[in-house]
Amino acid sequence: MCESDSQFETCLQALKVPQNSKSLFKVLVNIRKELEWPKDRQNILKVRTEGCLGQLVSILQMPQRYIMDVCLSILGNCMMDKNCSRDLVGAYNIISPLSHILKHHQKSDSINGRIFRIIGNMCQHKKDQWANLIIDKKPYIVTHTVELLKKSSADDLPPDEMYSEATLSMAIRALRLLLNCRTVIPLVKDFGVLKAVGSLFIKVSTEWQEHKTKEYLLNNIIRLLHDYSRYKYYNSIMELRNTDNGNSLLHLTNVLLLSPKKIVKIVMNFIKVSQLQSELPVTEICDKFMDEIVSKYLNPEGTDTSNNTGMSSGYLECVQCICYLLEHPANRNLDRCGKCVPLLIKVLDSFQEPNTAQLKCCILLVSTLNHCQYDDSLIQEQLKHNVIEVLLRKLQWIFGTSGALKENHNALRTSKNGNKKRVNRNSQSTTRRKRPRESICRESPNTTLVASPSTSSSAVNEVRQQASVRRQCSASPSSSDEEYAASRYERSPSPCSSIASDEAIFRALSPQRCPSSPANVDDEELSDSDDYSPVCSDVESDKNCSSENEEDEGKEDQKTAELLNDMDCDDEEESEGKKSPAVPEEASIVNLKSLLVTEIAILISSFARVNPIIPQLGTEEMLIALLNCSSHFKATVSAKINTVDIVVKILDSAEYLIPLMKSKFIETMYDLMKVQHSQNCNKCSDYKDVGKIILRQITTLAESGVGMGEIAHALLRRRCQTRQQVTLVIPYILRDKALLARYMLYCDGLDVLLRLLKHEWDMKKRAIKSLCAMASDMLNIANPIDVALNLSPTRTIKDKYKLAEDCEHVVTFKLDDGSVLQADRQFLSDRSDFFRGLLSGHFRESSEDEVRLSHVKKKSLGCLFLLLKTLDDKSETVDVKQDLDTLLDVLVLSDRFLLSHIRESILNSVQKFWVSARTVPVIYRWSLESGTNLLRVECVAYALVADISDAERFQMFNSLFQAGCGEKLKHDIRKLLERYLYNIPIKKSSFFCPRLS
């Protein structure tokens, strides 16, 4: 045994010396043991550099079969090296002796297997060159290989014509590697390769079904069928259908679960050139996949039972293959794959954990459903099985429930950057793509950009490069008509390339690259190579070499096992050269969510075009879920779809109007338009824009002829609850004031809103918001504070009232609490008619130095005297540094003492400086209790139109109701609103609703 480099070189040198068969056999065995591929690659190079390849080829002419077996095994390993292969074919013309050996040893299992292995290894280096050479110069090799497969496909074979699984696998591999765009026609049409392989496939698949044997051979046959299917040649289908044992394509269904991806790729490649639907068992394959999913992975309710995550390898493969079948338009009909649609919807609904694997699978499923959007029957099939509800649950599964949009809005932080550059929505909207873009908010926390454009562009470049290669191949000059014809049947660029989308993510999710369990047998992991262990550790003994017959009989089974071992090593080398480029690092969860949302939105957009309309699309939950998607991503150039556009498209039908008015959707959109933080908050600006767009669309519906009739009918003929729900949102959506006046006055809308103020607090709050929206947005009632601010400039009064030292006529006022206040009698008489009559007239007080005043406070009276002293007869706005109670008391005194100019000054001061959400209940209650009714209307107007938060407004109204002012307040609200509503001109020819009796 050669144990070192020197010993191996000694064996190589011995090979060059003439020896007897026994010694030569030992040398060959020792050499073979040191040529293990790829471990002993250097030794194979030494065989070439030492010039031993020629000796090995000459040894093939020796008659001893055991020597020929070992020599073929050595040559098979040497063929794994590209340079050795070139020398053996070019310099030593190994093809001729191989053809000669096959003619003389047609029934030798080991020799046939090793020669087939050499042919395969040779063709994998220069596939086109050597394959063309063999078919043109030595066609017997192909003919013999095909005949061997034909014989093996017969049911009853004599023992001397039976071949091992390893030999048949090597024959299949050789025929597969002989395939190229030039040889596909002669191999299929002239040599009948597929007819022979199809017959063997039927036999082997039947045995596998019954006994689960020859799985390795079956995998190799499937791989050959897959490679032949990638060439656009219709005769391939005909050959497989018309084999000696029957239609082999029908047996693809029987072994479907052995290699589901490859079998689906075979069908998908053939379907591009098929002429009849019955030629391919698409329906049977779909049924098989569905039975597998339902029986093993889904319970009757449609819930996943495979494991906690629902991502077992078998489950995943079946789902991916069904999706891949539906990529081709020919399969998207009820007859072929219509039953798959309900199952895919169930599977989509079964995923409950938003991890990377499940998100990718959901993207694939929704993308597949999107392929069916142009077939009305499949759309109806989806709707029949509640696809809308499933999509809604997926959106809520990703981003939360229907209230998430509003909660997210209220929880946002104020943006500090007021000068932040914003996206020009007008410019974006003018450049529409084929698919709508996805609008993604700019300041959403904990989010990243959607899939980068580089990913998509690299995928597009890859497709373009493949297309360029194919064009060059098809356009290259051919030496004959046959070559030109062959160029038409070039291999398709990818066995699973999508025909509907060139985006990288969907190609990555097609069956070839879909996420799978490590246990899966992937495309490149299917091994049909020929690497096997060195011939015989047991062959070394002289005893085994005593005679040629003993050698042949004793080692036949051993060599078959060795051949099976060698196949794995050869295929590793073959896969090395064809290994796909590394898939980029997995996309982030956020990117996957954005892609899933894009696909869901596209599908929902397609449903929005369906007539009659789908009621489930226009629900509050669905619309909020769609809008909620946009709030989780940042707006980028690579955004794919704008869910706001989808909502607008859905709301294009007036049939959704009344159901939405009965929900809280319109109120939620109105709340989005309110600035929650500051004018510089970009998020608030985004929400405001969304609210405006949606409400504008609903306004269009409400003010259309159909919309007006529906609303009027709801107000006049519907039950009380519907009338209440519709009336609550009318002020949010109308912009036609005349129409608002009709609904509020002649359809009793205002009465409905005011009656709701008697209901429980939640309904009362909604009524308050609606009344405020009507007053501020539609009737444009002025804010009393704004009115006061437009008055004359304010004069501040900080002094306290004091009697002048030079006063000659002093009068002392004695109050109820016993306190006294002195004043100038002459000054009071000059400035006030009331005091002139009291102090200088015919009353008893005119002769008294001490006058008693009831129901007067000293502080208030002093403030009144100060104002009387400070102000002239003309009123002006003053800011008196007193508390509110004192000012209100001064108002009462000024009214009591007929000091109109002081009353007007104090009214202006209170209206300008004291009216607020906190003080309105105090002022309103004072106005009622004092009987003056001063500032009563102003308080009601402020309560309705003040720019304050909802919480402050509700607290203000709650205080008014708790103070017992409810009935008076409702009366004042009615009078104020009616005054404005009746002033709106209504055309006689316009729509008129009579008042309910």
The number of angstroms, rounded, from the C-alpha of 148 to the middle of its chain's C-alpha atoms is 53
Q: Reduce the DSSP state of residue 637 to 3 states and report it.
A: coil
Q: Which residues in the chain come in under a pLDDT of 50? A: 1-2, 307-310, 402-404, 410-557, 559-561, 572-573, 575-580, 582-587, 635-639, 989-990, 992-997
pLDDT digits (tens, 9 = 90+) for 345-391: 999 998 888 788 888 899 999 999 998 888 888 898 899 999 999 99
The number of angstroms, rounded, from the C-alpha of 893 to the middle of its chain's C-alpha atoms is 71
| DSSP annotation string for 498-564 | -SS---HHHHHTSTTTS---TTS--GGG----B--PPS-SGGGSGGGGS-HHHHHHHHHHHHHHHHH
Q: Which positions ≥6 away from 775 have C-beta within 8 Å?
A: 781, 941, 944, 945, 976, 977, 980
Decide if 548 contacts 64 (C-beta within 8 A). yes
pLDDT of 965 reads 86
Instruction: State how far the Cα of 160 lies from the Cα of 210, in Å rounded to an integer.
Output: 25
Q: Which amino acid is at 721?
A: Q
Decide if 239 contacts 194 (C-beta within 8 A). yes
Q: Which positions ≥6 away from 4 have C-beta within 8 Å?
A: none
Instruction: State how far the Cα of 869 lies from the Cα of 874, in Å rounded to an integer.
Output: 12
> Phi/psi of residue 519, each to 5°?
-75, -15
How many CB atoms are located within 10 Å of the residue 608 CB? 18
Count of residues making up the chain: 997
pLDDT of 235 reads 94
Task: Record the tokens describing residue 360, joined without a space.
Answer: 């990718």
Helix ranges, 375-503 (H): 376-384, 387-399, 404-410, 425-430, 453-475, 481-487
Q: Which amino acid is at 293?
A: I
Distances 87 to 57, 74, 92, 93, 123 between C-alpha atoms, Å: 11, 15, 7, 8, 14
pLDDT of 334 reads 80
Domains and CATH numbers, the chain: 1-178+530-573 (1.25.10.10)
pLDDT of 411 reads 43
pLDDT of 499 reads 32
Please confirm whether the linkage preceding 159 is cis (ω < 30° from 0): no
Pairing of strands 820-824, 810-814: antiparallel
pLDDT of 172 reads 96
Q: Reduce the DSSP state of residue 450 to 3 states and report it.
A: coil
How many CB atoms are located within 10 Å of the residue 147 CB? 15
Instruction: State how far the Cα of 881 lies from the Cα of 504, in Å rounded to an integer.
Output: 72
Pairing of strands 795-797, 878-880: parallel
Distances 477 to 182, 187, 250, 472, 669 between C-alpha atoms, Å: 13, 22, 39, 10, 66
How many CB atoms are located within 10 Å of the residue 22 CB? 14
